[in-house]
Amino acid sequence: MNIKGKHYRTIWFKDKLTVQIIDQRYLPFKFVIEDLKSVNEFVDAIKDMHIRGAGLIGAAAGYAMYIAAVTCPNINFDIYLEDSAERLIATRPTATNLRWAVERQLENIKKVKSKTEKIEIAKKTAEEIANEDVQFCKQIGEHGFKIIKKISNKKRGDVVNILTHCNAGWLAFVDYGSATAPIYLAHDKGIKVHVWVDETRPRNQGAKLTAWELLNHGVPHTVIADNTGGHLMQHGLVDMVIVGTDRTTYTGDVANKIGTYLKALAAKDNRIPFYVALPSSTFDWKIKNGIKEIPIEERGSEEVKCIRGWCDGSIKEVLLTPKNSPATNYAFDVTPSRLITALITERGICKANKDSILSLFPEHSNINTEISIKFQSIWKKTKTFDFDISELNLYRTKLYNLGLIGTNNKGIGFGNISQRINKGLNFIITGAGTGSLPTLTINHYTVVKKSDIEKNLVICEGLINASSESMSHAAIYALLPNINAVIHVHSLIGWKKLLYKIPTSSKNAQYGTPELAREINKLLKETNLKKIQIFVTAGHQDGIFSFGKNIKEAMDVLIKALPREQFS
């Protein structure tokens, strides 16, 4: 962002031993740059909100871990870093970016051995975290811009009125911001926008920080009391709401500054779209229920009882309440996914639900599937690979629409489909946990390079881990050179009808295990499986496998064997 003609990030290296930040406590009245040279100074800066905002405290934690490495006293290096990490994480419990950045640093630092290498990798990782934050926010702006443009076109170029809450702007990140990035881009491209800026009690981040940012960027805006938003919505003065988030569950629940939930309720009641902008570092891939599981930070009561402002040439604090009246200060609340129109991420826009979120972030599709993968997986993460999945994906979609691939009552995906590559033992297969997704892309597939039954090992490459049934698919390809496609589905009706009437694996052979792979070998030798090309798994309820010389043949074998009531 430009301040008086000079571009600034919110955090940057001054030299090898000093990180500089913009001390937000003095804004909008003074522009103060602070030097941070120790872990203690970082801890105080984050805890006491010299810096704040999900993306920025994540970046700051990355820089802090570097400072910890480069200033480590003459004691055990790794223990000192672990202690510094724990202290940093404890400063702000709600925002997930903080822990994410610290753990990323620790993981990278452990990859090298010497102290010199550890310091170098810590510096590199800190810069990567900061640069990614900038890039992701810029991409969020580009995706969110399309929403604003669409509203502007609908209003025939009239002003688009946007309501914000708290500060999810440039000051909350390293640059651009999340919620403000689309606004800045729309303004820069000539779309008429006006922003209603919630004051955001008790620390007034909206009135102080968002308003200051918008003023510096030249964006028309009006500061309002927090309770004004509902009135504006009732009278048609708000076209959309856009906020940030400090932690978002993989199911779409959002923890943001206290008062966000009430804005979402008002928006829902008045049929006004409510958007949340966030980089992927803000997702918590371990939490399902935001209201029950996200820790809500409680800050000191003085923030509620007192207010800071500009008076007689200096910043002063005054008491608002009776001196002896108690006060409670919850810093965040949780907005449930049902109230959110969509999430705006660096990869695009998605609905606030698990399936839609995972469609953008397939590398996390194995949520709830770790217990399902029973083999040792050596998984090399690669973004894409050169393979035409169009036919394979067509039949996978058909299987999903027929209910043969999907999600069970525990939320765990089932069913997979694969295809041999170039007549070798390598094959491409749908990834772990993708059963819940109605449509897939190349990013939801992985290539199995090797399978070793004796070692219970699968080696794969892709953006997502291999399906839990990969070893079974591999066994079929290894034993039947003319077979080029394998389908695995779940059908309770079909399973009951076919059990022991066609080749059936042992009850003792569970899915995804070497035992099931050996059972496939046994069935091929002792039954007519090679001829009929379909079998059921007694040790894996509902499980049915079919295979063929091509994907169409495998599909035809399956559909022909299933009872007609399966599709009624």
- Residues 534, 553: Cα–Cα separation, whole Å: 11
Note every long-range contact of 558-561, with CB atoms under 8 Å and residues 24 or more positions apart, other chains counting.
558/404, 558/487, 558/489, 558/534, 561/494, 561/498, 561/502, 561/532, 561/534
Which residues are part of the catalytic machinery? 246
Distances in Å between the Cα of 459 and the Cα atoms of 185, 304, 378 are: 44, 56, 5
Q: What is the pLDDT of residue 278?
A: 96
Report CA Rg, the chain.
Answer: 28
Q: What is the pLDDT of residue 410?
A: 62
Q: What is the pLDDT of residue 411?
A: 62
pLDDT average per 10 residues of sequence, the chain (568 residues): 85 94 95 95 94 92 95 86 90 85 91 90 95 94 97 96 96 94 97 97 95 95 97 98 96 96 98 96 90 90 94 92 95 96 95 90 68 67 78 94 83 86 90 84 90 84 86 93 96 93 91 86 94 93 94 96 80
Residues 6 or more apart in contact with residue 102 via CB below 8 angstroms: 61, 62, 65, 85, 88, 89
DSSP letter at 298 equals B
For 318, list phi and psi in degrees, rounded to 5.
-130, 155
pTM summary value: 0.71
Whether the CB-CB separation of 155 and 236 falls below 8 Å is answered with: no
Whether the CB-CB separation of 413 and 466 falls below 8 Å is answered with: no
CA angle 447, 451, 453 (to 5 degrees): 155
Domains along the chain with CATH numbers: 2-133 (1.20.120.420), 134-355 (3.40.50.10470), 361-567 (3.40.225.10)
Sign, CA torsion 458/464/467/473: negative
Q: Quote the longest CA-to-CA distance of the chain.
A: 94
- Residues 136, 282: Cα–Cα separation, whole Å: 11
Burial class of residue 567 (count of CB atoms within 10 Å of its CB; 0-12, 13-18, 19+): exposed
Q: Which structure tokens are listed for 445?
A: 């597939």
